[in-house]
Structure 1
Amino acid sequence: MDVVRFDLRGLAPGQGPSRRHVASVVDAVDATVVVQGPVQALAAVLARLWKSDRLPVVTVGWEPVDGDAACRGLARDLGLGTGSVRELPLVRDDHGGVLLHHGRIEAAGGGGLRRRFGAQAHHDSTKVCDGPVTRIEVRPRWDVVDQVSVTVVTVPLRPARRTTGRALQVASDPVRVLRDGVPVDRDVQRWTWYADDRVRWRLQP
C-alpha cells in the first residue's frame, strides 16, 4: 500500500492548516495518509476526510512534532507506536470541526482566563453550569469509547466541576472557542462537542 505524506510541521502554535493544505487528502486511494505535524494538523486532516466521506476507508498515521506538550499527551493517549491498525472514536462539533486533545470555551475579546461569561451547559442530561463561569474545558476520552470529559471552572483557584459523558451543549454570551489550541474564526453563542458514535477512524500506529 502506498503512503501519502502531508508535511504540516511548519504550523505555528495556535495556527491551523488552510483548506488548501489538506484538500488533496481526499484523493488518497488505496494508501495510508501520514500526517506530519502538531495535533491541529491531524485534526484538520480527519475533518476533511469526514466531510468527504473518506474517513472510514483511509488509514491515517501521525508523526507528531518533537518537543510539543500537546503532541506528547495525545501520542501517549493514542498509544502511538504500539499495536496494530485500530478503529478509534471521533469527537466532533456542530461547526464541522474535530477535537483530538483539548477544547476550551472562554470569554470573547481577550483579557485572559480570569474573565467570566454567562453560560448554561448540559453534559448529556446533567446541567453542569447555569450562570457566570471562567472557562469550560473538554477532552476526548481515549480510555473509553464515545466519551468526553468536561471541566467547568467558575472561579479561578476554586474546585472545578468535572463530568464525563457523550455530548456537551452550551448556550452563552459571546465566547471564544479553541479547538486543540486553534481559535474558531468567530465568536459564538452556541456550541456543541460530542463523541459521534456513528463514526470511526483508522489509526496506523
Structure 2
Amino acid sequence: MRGLVLVCGRAELRSPLPDGVRAQAVPARPGKGDVDPLLAPDLVVVGTDADLAAVVLRLLRKNLLDTTSVGYVPAEAGSAVAGLWGLPTAPERALELALSGDARPVPLIRDDAGGVLLGRGVVRDPRGVAYCDDTEALRGQAASIVVQPDPDGGAGLRATVTHGRVLKRRRAFAGRAFQLGGAEVVPESDGVPYPRPIRRWTWYRHTHDLRLVLPPR
C-alpha cells in the first residue's frame, strides 16, 4: 500500500484514503521545491499527464527512478498515459490500482531540452528531415508527427508521421530515438508546448525505465 498521494493542481480525490496513506496537495506541474521534500519510495500522482511528467522529472533528476514506484490516477478521461498502459480512468478504480498494484518498468522518453515524455508528444506542420534511429522518417513537409513510448516492449518509442489533412497517409516507425531538424516548430510534450520555436528536436529513450504501477497482465 503506497503511503503518499500527491494531488496536483485542481485534481481531486474522489474516495477516502486507507489508514496510513496521506494526501499532499501540490501545484499543477509541481517543481523542485514542491516535490523534492516529499519524495518517497512509493508515490501516487493524482493529476494530468503533465503533472505526472513533472513529478517523474524530479525522480530522474534525483536519480530515484530505480528505487521509486509510481501509481497514477488520471484527472482526465483522455489521458494518453492511461490509454498507452491500460490504466483505468474511473477515479475509484484508478486510485485502488495506484495504491495497491504492482509496478513494472516502462520506457521513459526524454528530450534534448531536459524534459520527459510519458504519454504523447506532438509536432504540428513539421518541415525538414527526421530520422527514427537510422531510418529516414521524413524529408519535406508533413501534417504532424506523434511520438509515444512503445507499450509493446520494443526499443523504446514509436512515431507516426502523418501526411495530408483530408486524405491522410500515415507511416509508423519504432526505435530508440526520433530526431527532427528543419523549419521552426513548437513541440508539445504531454499537452505542454515548448516555450519557444526551435529548429532541432530529439526524443529518445532514457537509460533507466520508469517503475509505473500497471494493471495485472
Amino acid at match of 1:118: R
Q: Does 1:23 align with 2:33?
A: yes
Amino acid at match of 2:144: R
* Deviation readout 1:21-52 (Å, 9 max, x if unpaired): x5343334654121101111111111121012
* Deviation readout 1:131-175 (Å, 9 max, x if unpaired): 122211111112214421111122222311111111101102010
Does structure 2 conserve the Cα–Cα contact (< 8 Å) formed by 1:178 and 1:184?
yes
Q: How do 1:174-185 residues align onto structure 2 when only pairs under 5 Å count?
A: 174-185=184-195
Q: With a CA cutoff of 8 Å and minimum separation of 6, indicate the structure with the bigger relative contact order.
A: 1
SS in 2 for 1:199: coil
Report how far residue 64 of structure 1 moved. Answer: 1.4
Q: Give the one of 199, 203, 207 matched to 1:189.
A: 199
Q: Matches of 1:100 and 1:144 in 2, distance apart?
A: 15
Taking structure 2 as the reference length, the TM-score comes to 0.76
Q: Matches of 1:30 and 1:154 in 2, distance apart?
A: 44
Q: Matches of 1:135 and 1:66 in 2, distance apart?
A: 23
User: For residue 56 of structure 2, what is the aligned residue in structure 1?
Assistant: 46
Taking structure 1 as the reference length, the TM-score comes to 0.80
User: For residue 113 of structure 2, what is the aligned residue in structure 1?
Assistant: 95
Q: Give the one of 172, 195, 200 matched to 1:162.
A: 172
Q: Does 1:7 align with 2:7?
A: yes
SS in 2 for 1:160: strand
Does structure 2 conserve the Cα–Cα contact (< 8 Å) formed by 1:122 and 1:168?
yes
Amino acid at match of 1:161: R
Unaligned runs of 5+ in 1: 108-116
Does structure 2 conserve the Cα–Cα contact (< 8 Å) formed by 1:23 and 1:48?
no
Shift in CA distance, 135/201, structure 1 to aligned 2, threshold 3 Å = same
Q: Matches of 1:163 and 1:104 in 2, distance apart?
A: 15
Report how far residue 194 of structure 1 moved. Answer: 0.9
What number of residue pairs does the alignment pair up? 189
Q: Matches of 1:151 and 1:29 in 2, distance apart?
A: 35
* Deviation readout 1:176-205 (Å, 9 max, x if unpaired): 111011111111110001112x21222234
Shift in CA distance, 128/45, structure 1 to aligned 2, threshold 3 Å = same
Q: Matches of 2:76 and 2:123 in 1, distance apart?
A: 27
SS in 2 for 1:144: coil
Report how far residue 126 of structure 1 moved. Answer: 0.4
